[in-house]
Structure 1
Amino acid sequence: MEQQKKVAFYTLGCKLNFSETSTIARNFQDEGFERVDFEDVADIYVINTCSVTDNADKQFKQVVKKALKLNEKAFVAAVGCYAQLKPEELAAVDGVDLVLGATEKFKITDYIHDLSKNDMGEVHSCEIEEADFYVGSYSIGDRTRAFLKVQDGCDYKCTYCTIPLARGISRSDTMANVLQNAAEISKQGIKEIVLTGVNIGDYGKGEFGNKKHEHTFLELVQALDQVDGIERLRISSIEPNLLKNETIEFVAQSRTFVPHFHIPLQSGSNAILKKMKRRYMRELYTERVATIREVMPHACIGVDVIVGFPGETDEHFLETYHFLNELDISYLHVFTYSERDNTEAALMDGVVPNNVRAKRSKMLRGLSVKKRRAFYESQLGTTRTVLFEGENKEGYIYGLTENYVKVKTPWNPELVNTLHEVQLTHIDEDGGVRIAFVNVAV
């Protein structure tokens, strides 16, 4: 009897990629493959790529090397955004056997006929206009939380972004399918679902291959709140112009949605926002933060920001810095601008030197540390619900409160994947918040 073939996966990039890797992995398992950890010897290694940062491009080559070190005869396949944008480049990387684009990645097992190594990577990549159908996905078994994909692609034309080129037009899952997936996840004993997509606030568009919204994001949120068995729902990242006040107000009084929003800003300068072709000005962003604070004073608000965009002067950067410093937010994700082929921004004048980009990035990362600390301090003495993660990190178990405070307590395996009501007592040197248990379990 032929021995069962082993497959391992490595995911670069966003939560959406994690949900899609999980779905691809289930396809392999349905075909009789055994899934193993990436650190194990496998017959096939599948790398789900990202194109958002320079680093992700470089990481890909390191991951391929790592796979071949484990098994030099392994079959290596690349899928994901970078595979769609630059398939030939990936195919030329030493040791890569197969590169699949946006529409092909979910049919990967159809392309693997035998596992013999190729001299040059074989490419199957569609024209991105063909990526007009929707494949639902969710991650299970990888973490305490599950990532549930509800939307894919983007119709926005931000001048720095390659995502529309890598993922195609905005399109959504049907409401029935999202609710079915959510119910399936809850039956697996997973306590928290994170909604993901490229532009989830645009949910409902292209549900049936058209541009009309069959449902709104608010309707999706309201329906998910009714699904039995789900303890927590979290919205991953949503554009400020699509985060409507009705959604904020619904989250504030909902059964399962947690008080945590991640809202991309990208710049605190209206001049730069215009150059980026963002669909809002900073005034709208201020309004959104104020609305959240009004109905959920304890909410966690995360912000994406890009430094070093072409034409960003010291004045523009300081405008961003002061804007964020004064805004009642909880943490920042800072991205250093990097040029991307086939984007408008790559051709713009006013290129910011790399050393200046690095300096600005460091300043905002410092501000983020300060903001997170202030937010954690504001939560001390309060009672929150924690979902504990599954890892023993140097004798401690970590978890997240509903409003995204990272807490720690001495390792106890019985706490894994359980919810507990706790009081936040003090902040440790490593930034984790110590807790006292209020209830044994929720």
Structure 2
Amino acid sequence: MIDKTVFENKIAAYYTLGCKLNFAETSTIGKVLAEQGVRKARAGEKADICVVNTCSVTELADKKCRQAIRRISKQHPGAFIVVTGCYAQLKPEEVSHIEGVDLVLGAEQKLDILMYLDDLKKKEEGGAVIASQTKDIRTFSPSCSADDRTRHFLKVQDGCDYFCSYCTIPFARGRSRNGTIASMVEQAQEVARKGGKEIVLTGVNIGDFGKSTGETFIDLIRALDEVEGIVRYRISSIEPNLITDEAIDFVASSKRFAPHFHIPLQSGSDEVLKLMRRRYDTALFRHKIEKIKEIMPHTFIGVDVIVGTRGETDELFEEARSFIDSLDISQLHVFSYSERPGTQALKIAHSVDPKIKHARSQQLLDISDRKLHAFYDAHTGSQAEVLFEHTRKGGMMHGFTENYIKVEIPYDSSLVNETRRVTLTGWNEDRTALNCELVTNS
């Protein structure tokens, strides 16, 4: 039985590192505490409870988590600090000994946080650890961000069965699992009732949706497309071998799914893809890009790439760079390979010098800049539907078109969370967005 008096007049601060899935889960944790009367801390306010949802995708991510925890401990002296997320699942004992940490919750426990917040008393020596082994992570906990963002992030899937050679995520999040389509539709309807206009489908491997319910990803997006009140959906990162031609055709003809894909490539070399234990080759990846562009030429396509993995020789990187440059894509998200304990990649002999990794990253970032600018230039002068966001910066506000072009316009509170038709008029001063003008009678 939860003692609600423990939470009376308490204030909580929430910190999220890493992916959109983490943001959705943190939002759900916040909602759970809010239902017990815990208020979210305002800017500059000292919190009684701090929840830190961590990432562990790279060694740098681990370092940033440690730094964040120490900083939060100083900012909120005396606060009860809970650390959860992938870093907490992978290295719970290490996390428990970071100064200020009182409780470490694993992947299976994070959304049951109330069960473990007993008296909120600071621990004298090291935080308590409550975490299941990876093989015992079974639960799918529904999550949907519900803060003040225009976009909502709906968790449709969790875990991964792929075990790529460089990745620790299957060890941090467990096997692939998901909720039912009916439950996803219900959550989308709730977002619409609260005035939400855009939903991003998130997960670890969302194309694998249906593993635990016997359903399919295409059935999921068909059902969500019928939810009234939602203006648009975006599909977050989806594996190239799991985005079927049927799904691409559906997005092209759907009422609400945006012409926007984020597809991890990781390497443009077939040999490196084999070393990574990826489940596709460059021929399949090219087919997916060409299929999308054939039926939706205006689609924004973001692509993840890792440089400097073990086994990536100069020749193989050049092969990858050339392949990537040849693709009709909009932007690259470039990551430098980070060695992770326990991964199979450590058995590959050839390692890449950090300076070479940096140089290779810069080459791909240059390609990304060129492709993104070309994509924006191609749409200058055209009209588009923009969903405007609440953020105000220097007297300007921003929004995104269906195909993920960022636009800028003088701030107008009446436009917040509204979809309006605009004409894209050209680059803003620092070339981070396109200026736009409202189309009258839109």
**Pairwise TM-score range, normalised by the shorter structure:** over 0.9
Of the candidates 10, 14, 18, which is equivalent to residue 19 of structure 2? 14
- The alpha-carbon distance between structure 1 residues 188 and 64, as it changes in their structure 2 partners (threshold 3 A), is same
Change (3 A) 1:65 1:102: same
- 1:310 maps to what in 2? 310
Shift in Å, 1:71: 2.2
SS class of match (1:389): strand
Correspondence for 1:190: 196
> Are 1:267 and 1:273, in contact at CA under 8 Å, matched by a contact in 2?
yes
User: How far apart are 1:245 and its partner, in Å?
Assistant: 0.5
Contact kept in structure 1, 2:408 and 2:428, CA below 8 Å: no
Q: Does structure 1 residue 127 correspond to structure 2 residue 123? A: no
Report the Cα distance in structure 1 between the residues aligned to 2:169 and 2:122, rounded to whole angstroms.
Answer: 31
Q: Does 1:36 align with 2:37?
A: no
Equivalent residue for 1:206, pick from 178, 196, 212: 212
Q: Letter of the 1:160 partner, please give it.
A: Y
Query: After superposition, where does 1:392-431 map in structure 2 within 5 Å?
Result: 392-431=392-431
Task: In structure 1, give the amino acid aligned to 2:292.
Answer: I
Given the alignment, which residue of 66, 87, 105 partners 2:92?
Answer: 87
For residue 437 of structure 2, what is the amino acid of its counterpart? A
- Using the TM superposition, name which of 278-287 and 116-125 deviates more: 116-125
Give me the identity figure in percent.
Answer: 50
Preserved CA contact (<8 Å) 1:146 1:190? yes
Secondary structure of the residue aligned to 1:271 is helix
Aligned pairs for 1:76-155 (under 5 A) are 76-118=81-123, 119-155=125-161
1:435 aligns with 2:432: no
SS in 1 for 2:390: coil
Inter-partner Cα distance in structure 2 for 1:439 and 1:342? 59
Pairwise CA RMSD? 1.3
State which drifts further: 370-379 or 107-116.
Answer: 107-116
Distance 2:114 2:394 in 1: 39
Q: Tell me whether 430-439 or 10-19 shows the greater mean CA deviation.
A: 430-439
Residue 366 of structure 1, CA deviation: 1.5
TM-score (normalised: structure 2): 0.96
Report how far residue 129 of structure 1 moved. Answer: 1.1
Quick one: structure 1 residues 52 and 39, their matched pair in 2 at CA, closer, same or farther if it must change by over 3 Å?
farther
Question: Map of 1:41-80 to 2, 5 A cutoff?
Answer: 41-80=46-85
CA contact (8 A) 2:81 2:103 kept: yes
For residue 373 of structure 2, what is the aligned residue in structure 1?
Answer: 373
Mind listing any 5+ residue stretches in structure 1 that lack a counterpart?
208-213
CA distances 1:359-381 after superposition (whole Å, capped 9, x unpaired): 11111112111111011011111
Q: Secondary structure at the match of 1:56?
A: helix
User: Of residues 180, 202, 205 in structure 2, which corresponds to 1:174?
Assistant: 180
Three-state SS of the structure 2 residue aligned to 1:97 is strand
Deviation at 1:428, TM superposition (A): 2.1
- Contact (CA 8 Å) 1:40, 1:70: kept in 2 or not? no
Shift of 1:70: 2.4
User: What one-letter code is carried by the residue in structure 2 that aligns with 1:293?
Assistant: K
Q: What is the Cα deviation at residue 345 of structure 1?
A: 0.8
SS at match of 1:233: strand
Q: Which moved more, 1:354-363 or 1:175-184?
A: 354-363
8 Å CA contact 1:38, 1:45 repeated in 2: no
Q: For 1:232 and 1:39, locate their aligned partners in 2 and report how far apart those are by CA, in whole Å.
A: 35
Q: Deviations over 1:203-246 (max 9, x none)?
A: 11112xxxxxx211111111110111111111011000000011
Alignment of 1:243-254 (within 5 A): 243-254=243-254
Are the counterparts in 2 of residues 384 and 423 from structure 1 also a CA contact under 8 Å? yes
The superposition leaves residues 311-330 of structure 1 with CA deviations (integer Å, 9 ceiling, x where unpaired) of 10111111111111111000
Deviations 1:16-56 (A, max 9, x none): 00111111111111122112247531101100001112222
**How far apart, CA to CA, are the structure 1 residues paired with 2:430 and 2:53?**
32
Separation of aligned partners in 2, 1:38 and 1:340: 36
Cα separation, 2, equivalents of 1:15 and 1:79: 15
| SS class of match (2:385) | strand
- Note the C-alpha offset of 1:356: 0.8
Indicate the larger mover: 57-66 or 397-406.
57-66
Q: Comparing 272-281 with 102-111, which one deviates more in the overlay?
A: 102-111
Instruction: Structure 2 unaligned segments of length 5 or more: list them.
Output: none
8 Å CA contact 1:46, 1:77 repeated in 2: yes
What residue number does 1:236 align with? 236
- Determine the C-alpha separation between the residues in 2 that align with 1:181 and 1:34: 23
Contact 2:12–2:39 under 8 Å retained in 1: yes
Aligned mates of 2:221, 2:311 — CA distance in 1: 39
Give, in whole Å, the separation in 2 of the partners of 1:372 and 1:359. Answer: 20
Q: Distance in 1 between matches of 2:194 and 2:70?
A: 35
Paired letter, 1:176: A
Distance 1:240 1:418, change over 3 A: same
Residues 314 and 38 (structure 1), Cα distance of their counterparts in 2 relative to 1, 3 Å cut: farther
Once residues 59 and 440 of structure 2 are traced to their aligned partners in structure 1, the CA distance between those partners, rounded to angstroms, is 46
TM-score, normalised with respect to structure 1: 0.96
Aligned length: 435
Task: Specify the SS of the correspondent of 1:390.
Answer: strand
- The alignment partner of 1:373 has SS state of helix
**CA shift at 1:178, angstroms?**
0.4
Q: Which residue does the alignment assign to 1:348?
A: 348
Report the Cα distance in structure 2 between the residues aligned to 1:37 and 1:311, rounded to whole angstroms. Answer: 48
SS in 1 for 2:51: strand
Tell me if the contact between 2:51 and 2:83 (Cα under 8 Å) persists in the aligned partners.
Answer: yes
Letter in structure 2 aligned against 1:132: R
Pairwise CA distance, 1:80: 0.6
Q: Using the alignment, how far apart are the partners of 1:418 and 1:289 within structure 2?
A: 31
d(CA) in 2 for partners of 1:252, 1:18: 28
Q: In structure 1, how many angstroms separate the alpha carbons of the residues matched to 2:175 and 2:292? A: 30
Mean Cα deviation higher: 2-11 or 365-374: 2-11
Q: Quick one: structure 1 residues 268 and 140, their matched pair in 2 at CA, closer, same or farther if it must change by over 3 Å?
A: same
1:99, 1:123 within 8 Å by CA — same for their partners in 2? yes
Distance change (3 Å), C-alpha of 1:102 and 1:38 = farther
